[in-house]
Chains A and B, each alone.
Chain A
Amino acid sequence: MKISGILAAVGLVLATVSTHAENLALPITEIAAGIFVHNGVQGEASAANEDGIANIGFIVGADAVAVIDPGGSFAEGTALRAAIRAHTDRPIRYVILTHVHPDHIFGAAAFRDDHPDFVGHAKLPGTLAQRGDYYLRRLRSALGDEAAGSEVVPPTLLVSDRLDLDLGGRHLSLQAHGPAHTDNDLTIFDENTRTIWLADLLFVDRIPAIDGSIVGWLKELDEVSGIPAERAVPGHGPISVPWPAAAEPERRYLEAVARQTRAAIKAGIGIADAWRHVANSERGRWLLFDDYHPRNVTAAYKELEWE
């Protein structure tokens, strides 16, 4: 009687904790068996969205869980962790960081107590070293108190080409890419469901941001287009899109930027003005076009003027 009373009380506490956790949990959708994705908002980082602007999520195997991008802040990472715990109590063995950008990595500290391997591209530590401090200061200035707890967590397991992770009855193939969206992009293929998690190698609806190499990105896009996947998870846009059809708008934009930036360089148009002459047909086809397009052309110009 006494013991069952205690158990009941414990049960009540657990129920309360679990309800609390569910309240804090990030909304999440199972897009294929065991693949859960949260849809980031299409906007810029702010205190209101806790930098939750990217698609992030997790994959559940028979033995363990892999997080794919812990989110844009400690607060978002904590809510993602709560969402995981609402679905499964299996250990979180891997936290995969698809690339260096703040909206994908700053939730990592929320998973420290799980002692996972933090998995990243072999070039991630170098880029984190260069940029981490700057990104953290910028996050704090955009989010204020909501940035509390967000930290740079260096990867503990590096991928220089390919790496297979076993979650129990489920193999994830990780591929490290050459410079594309950034110089440290990782993608994840789940064989069970034929799902390719492309993160920011694929932007849908939101304008792609060039922070690696436009020439390299087009090359990597060709390579990943050959992957026999049924669906892809883009880093920004809907949480599941048909593959490879969903790559077309991004390819069209990048090709237009590359072609017309080369023409601008040849015509002697300066780097500050080039964007006005490049890919104007793309305006109106992308969210946040005016926020990123001039910067994209500046980046493409700086790369292509060396050709």
Chain B
Amino acid sequence: MTWFTSALLVVLVLGGAARAEPSEAERAARWADLKHAIFGDRVVEDAGDRVVIDAPMRAEDAALVPVGIRVAQTLAPEVRGLYLVIDNNPSPLAAHFLLGPIADPSEIATRVRIDDYTYLHAVAETADGRLYATARFIKAAGGCSAPASKDQALALERLGKMKVNFAERTKPDQPVKAKLLISHPNNSGLQMDQVTRNYIPADFMQRLDVTYNGQSVFRLESDVSISEDPTFHFSIRPADPATPGVVKAEILDSSQRHFSQSWPVPAAAQM
């Protein structure tokens, strides 16, 4: 068992209690517990405005809430890891991004499930092991047990398929901005089949590796809090902008399936 899954188990035991709306003190206590479960006795500093969470105040679809983490340029070059914690989710550690040296951590975004009104915490980890945390409250509920799938035949047919949209660049030395779309149900294991009375088995992306010309952009360790058919926005600063680039994504899911796909990065448009 990795430290990641053991941290999750601790949290699952702590969680799952009453449904009554928690007080601010209870919310703070929950974050203190989570922080300890994930980071142990390490000091977690307040990020101030150096780390910001982008998320809607109120989610239109709690099973599909876009969340971005922005890191200020003053801190970005030192950042090697980003954690996204959804305090009141059954499995709160939603994502841990391990960033490679060519990743531009100033902006990274995905879509998550949110089970109840909750604080989101983002924690940036620097190369020398410092931790900077920020929080944001979000109003959304029901996202973990609500199945989002609208067309199940299509979902099965498309399982494991990926797509990348690259933002246009006008100069070769601009960062490569990409949006990766992944077709995967990310079943949470929290949906009950009312006819058989069995829970639909959890089936989710455990690991996503994104590379650029063989170098790591990021590795994501993830969980059931990531949405069905998730997207990932990220940005790359190629070491050698003159060389044509290839972005590759590889997935390992909880059913031990592997998926991988790669895409050439379009050349910068000549102005």
Residues of A within 8 A of B (CB): 123, 125-134, 136, 138, 152, 154, 179, 182-183, 210-213, 216, 268, 270-272, 275, 294-295, 297-299, 302-303, 305-306
A273 nearest CB neighbor, chain B only = B56
- Are B181 and A305 in contact, with the CB atoms below 8 A? yes
- Are B60 and A275 in contact, with the CB atoms below 8 A? yes
- Are A213 and B150 in contact, with the CB atoms below 8 A? yes
Q: Is B20 an interface residue (CB 8 A)?
A: no
Name the 9 nearest CB pairs between A and B, nearest first.
A132-B194, A133-B192, A129-B193, A152-B194, A130-B147, A294-B60, A179-B151, A272-B56, A133-B194
- Are A179 and B154 in contact, with the CB atoms below 8 A? yes
- Are A272 and B229 in contact, with the CB atoms below 8 A? no
CB distance from A200 to the nearest CB of B (A): 14
- Are A268 and B167 in contact, with the CB atoms below 8 A? yes
- Are B66 and A270 in contact, with the CB atoms below 8 A? yes
Q: How far is the CA of A33 from the CA of B20 in the complex (A)?
A: 53
Q: Is B23 an interface residue (CB 8 A)?
A: no
Q: Is B111 an interface residue (CB 8 A)?
A: yes
- Chain A interface main SS type: helix
- Chain B interface main SS type: loop
Residue in B55, B66, B150 with the greatest tally of chain A CB atoms within 10 Å: B150
- Are A299 and B195 in contact, with the CB atoms below 8 A? no
Q: Is B142 an interface residue (CB 8 A)?
A: yes
Q: How far is the CA of A75 from the CA of B151 in the complex (A)?
A: 30
- Are B194 and A128 in contact, with the CB atoms below 8 A? yes
- Are A128 and B153 in contact, with the CB atoms below 8 A? no
Q: Beyond A306-B163, A306-B181, is A128–B60 a contact (Cβ under 8 Å)?
A: no
Q: How far is the CA of A213 from the CA of B158 in the complex (A)?
A: 15
Q: Is B261 an interface residue (CB 8 A)?
A: no
Q: Which of B67-104 contact A (CB under 8 A)?
A: none
Chain B residues within an 8 Å CB radius of A152: 194-195
- Are A132 and B60 in contact, with the CB atoms below 8 A? no
Chain B residues within an 8 Å CB radius of A129: 193-196, 200
Chain A residues within an 8 Å CB radius of B65: 272
Q: Which of B59, B152, B153, B167 contacts A130 (CB 8 A)?
A: B152
- Are A134 and B150 in contact, with the CB atoms below 8 A? no
Q: Beyond A152-B195, A271-B66, A306-B163, is A183–B146 a contact (Cβ under 8 Å)?
A: no
Contact with A along B171-200 (1 / 0, CB 8 A): 000000000010100000001111110001
